[in-house]
Amino acid sequence: LVWLLVLSLAWLGPALGGEDKDEEVIEEEEKEKKEDEVLSDEIKEEDNVLVLHEHNFARALREHQLLLVEFYAPWCGHCQRLAPAFAQAATELRNESSPARLGKVDATAQTDLATEFGITSYPTLKLFRDGNRTHPLAYTGRMDSQGIVRWMQRRAGPSATLLQDTDTISAFINSQDLVVVGFFKDLRGEAAQAFFEVAAEMVDMTFGVAEAAELFQVYGLSADTVCLFKKFDERQTNFPVDLARGLDTAELTRLLRIHSLQLVMEFTNEVQPVPSPVTVHGSWLPCPHPPPPPQTSNQIFGAKIPHHMLLFLNKSSPEQLSLRDSFRAAAGGFRGEVRWPQGKDMEGGFGTPQPQCPPFPAQVLFVVVDVTGHGADVLPFFGMTAADAPTLRLVKMENNRKYQMEQDNFSDSAIRTFIQAVLDGKVKPHLLSAEPPEDWDTRPVKVLVGKTFEQVAFDETKNVFVKFYAPWCPHCQAMAAAWEELAERYKDREDIVIAEMDSTANELENITIHGYPTLHYFPAGPGRKMVEYKSTRDVETFSRFLENGGTLPEEPP
């Protein structure tokens, strides 16, 4: 039997070896075939997306008037999530016979193209127009199929509809809840061209343009003006073009964002298909590795209003629902306004503004949050539960500082007084703090909370190295073992403390954490000094940093 097995292996060996050789030959032939395909300028498609490389890129630019190209990496998670939406958008544009097409480049394989167009992150989307290879336009739309289609449609056709008579403009204004109409005496002038630029970018709004003198007269205008027409709140808001400065695209965009919002917004959280990056600050959304953008949060956070006043309530309670009336009454004073001569407000506001009366920016956005609905997800960010409703919080968006009344008072006058006190710097922020664990100082890594941070970090007899982390952060998770090993190494040193603090559950008055993990070193001695660690996150580098008193020794030349 042994011999039979040996003979069988002897006979099968060459056969198996030959099969391996055949496979190698086949693989080599397929590789050569792929290389021949790459060298050709033929353009293949995958799900209506053009597959581009250095040999067919020029041809694609020649053949397509508008070409949006995604530079991607096959291993990139964001690219993988974008792929279905990108393909769907390509299909929609193809089906409507649009001159706009979508293409993709594997930037890890096509390194010359990646270098030429300065690709440093994935995915990066660039628009090439009329074959211009030297000045592509960065994509600024939403990262979902609808956002991509709308963004491309605005660039494929006129960004604003020409409105030539009273019937047309009336039907246009009544066609949607919110439209923007630019009244310009010269559609080829600089102000009108700036307006078209804004219209091309703000694809979530509908834009029209008019130059007929009779339409200026109908709407009471005497000079170039951008008008925002709404079916809610004030029905019309006018933004006259400054004769001296012209039309500033950034300022007009900001004003349209602000005044397109309802006086009181309701927070909703309907998930979109593809997540977009969300920073830790500038948003009071919980950030377990950034969530998909909610339905109204794009508007709420996109308006860049510096303070958000939040009313948390249970919408199933009629008594709590009634609190919205006084909340709304308080909102009007902080809306921001466009000032007019002759005492006219922004609802009536026709005519030319006085130079000494510039637009007054909105200071506070009012938002209602239903604690039993979409708002339930944001409650932990405020250290709250549904049982805490009704209650009020004001958030300063630049640093996510939260402010709370000593005793909730829901009258409109009390709300206004509270907000003004915060704006005047007379109210201290309300800081979150978890309770310290019973064993917080028994393990090598000391566990700090808001309540205990000061006494540990600023102990003048200790050198304290603190990791500020978020439980959901993959970078924090990746360095957790190194931090534990570092703490184990120094657990017997009386003058060194290795600690950590969950910054999603604890806040500090004078230290703002902008990303995770953040490492700060607090040296012994007076003065409340703090050094941010920005080097390699490994045990040996950490150790050299500590042994050298909070700095890394210079490497020998």
Separation in Å, CA 397 to CA 417, 493, 496: 20, 41, 35
Nearest Cα neighbor of 35 from 97, 89, 102, 109 is 109
Fold for 296-338+360-424, please state it.
Glutaredoxin (3.40.30)
Q: What is the pLDDT of residues 423-461, one digit of tens each?
A: 899 999 988 899 999 999 899 999 999 999 999 999 999
Query: From edge to edge, which strands make up the β-sheet containing 161-162?
Result: 161-162, 206-210, 178-183, 225-230, 236-240
Among the listed residues 227, 287, 357, 473, the single catalytic one is 473
* pLDDT above 80: residue 261: yes
Q: CATH number of the domain at 161-260, please?
A: 3.40.30.10
Amino acid at 82: L
Among the listed residues 79, 227, 287, 357, the single catalytic one is 79
Residue 484, helix vs strand vs coil? helix
Average pLDDT over the chain, rounded to an integer: 84
Q: What is the pLDDT of residues 337-390, one digit of tens each?
A: 443 333 333 333 333 333 333 344 558 999 999 999 888 888 888 888 999 999
The structural domains of the chain, with segments of one domain joined by +, span 44-154, 161-260, 296-338+360-424, 446-548
Percent of the chain's residues with pLDDT above 90? 60
Q: Which H helix or E strand runs over 416?
A: helix 412-423
Nearest Cα neighbor of 333 from 291, 363, 289 is 363
Active site residue 476: yes
pLDDT score, position 18: 41
Q: What are phi and psi of 534, to 5 degrees?
A: -130, 15
Q: Is the peptide bond before 390 cis (omega within 30 degrees of 0)?
A: yes
Active site residue 76: yes
Active site residue 287: no
Alpha-carbon distance of 387 to 372, in angstroms, equals 10
> Which segment of 15-19, 363-367, 411-415, 529-533 scores lowest on mean pLDDT?
15-19
Contacts of 524 by beta carbon, 8 Å cutoff, 6+ apart: 459, 460, 461, 462, 463, 495
Q: What are phi and psi of 497, to 5 degrees?
A: -125, 130
Helix axes 539-547, 474-489, angle to 10 degrees: 50
Contacts of 174 by beta carbon, 8 Å cutoff, 6+ apart: none
Alpha-carbon distance of 521 to 479, in angstroms, equals 17
Cα-based torsion angle of the residue sequence 197, 198, 201, 205 in order, rounded to the nearest 10 degrees: -140
Contacts of 270 by beta carbon, 8 Å cutoff, 6+ apart: 294, 295, 374
State the architecture of 44-154 in CATH terms.
Answer: 3-Layer(aba) Sandwich (3.40)
Residue 127, helix vs strand vs coil? strand
Q: Is the pTM of this model over 0.75?
A: no
Structure tokens at 147: 């956002």
Fold for 446-548, please state it.
Glutaredoxin (3.40.30)
Would 161-260 and 446-548 be classified into the same CATH topology?
A: yes
Read off the DSSP letter of residue 9. Answer: H
pLDDT score, position 557: 58
Active site residue 227: no
Helix axes 77-95, 145-156, angle to 10 degrees: 50
Contacts of 73 by beta carbon, 8 Å cutoff, 6+ apart: 79, 106, 107, 108, 122
